[in-house]
Structure 1
Amino acid sequence: MPSNLIRRADYDPQTRKLSIWLVTTQNRYDYENVPPETYEAFRRVFSKGRFFHRHIRDRFRYHVTPLG
């Protein structure tokens, strides 16, 4: 998953939680209630950062976990 913005992304279909690690921070962002269709679309797109900004970032409640 090469991206200038997103270092890693994991999705748990049971909890519908999408976890995103950004290249620019030492945090993990856990987005709640992300539909499986949204995650599948995210996986398929070429520009992960653009999709993240347009369809995920300001659309779902999230929690930040500092990792560093």
Structure 2
Amino acid sequence: MPYFNSSAVKRAEYDEQTMRLRLWFPNGHYDFCRVPMHIWQGLLHASSKGTYYSDYIRDRYQC
């Protein structure tokens, strides 16, 4: 489970089998469902985790 040096997204966990992404923010954690592997990989490699979250994850993968 990677920890990020980000003010927006503190850490993340991804389960390949269920395609569930859990993100920890300063105010708690949230789950995202049916997240494709390429989105997870994109988050891992993004220079800004907060911007990537806003652009590619937020409001797209509700459980």
Instruction: Give TM-score scaled by structure 1 length.
Output: 0.83
Q: Which has the higher strand share?
A: 1
Deviation (angstroms), 1:58: 1.1
Identity %: 33
**Larger radius of gyration, structure 1 or 2?**
1
CA RMSD of the aligned region, Å?
Answer: 0.9
- Determine whether 1:53 maps to 2:54: yes
Selected match of 1:19 from 11, 22, 26:
22
Cα distance between partner residues in 2 of 1:44 and 1:7? 15
Aligned residues: 60
Deviation (angstroms), 1:8: 0.9
Deviation (angstroms), 1:16: 0.3
Structure 2: state its 5+ residue gaps.
none
Structure number with greater CO (CA < 8 Å, separation at least 6) is: 1
Structure 1: state its 5+ residue gaps.
63-68
Cα distance between partner residues in 2 of 1:7 and 1:46? 14
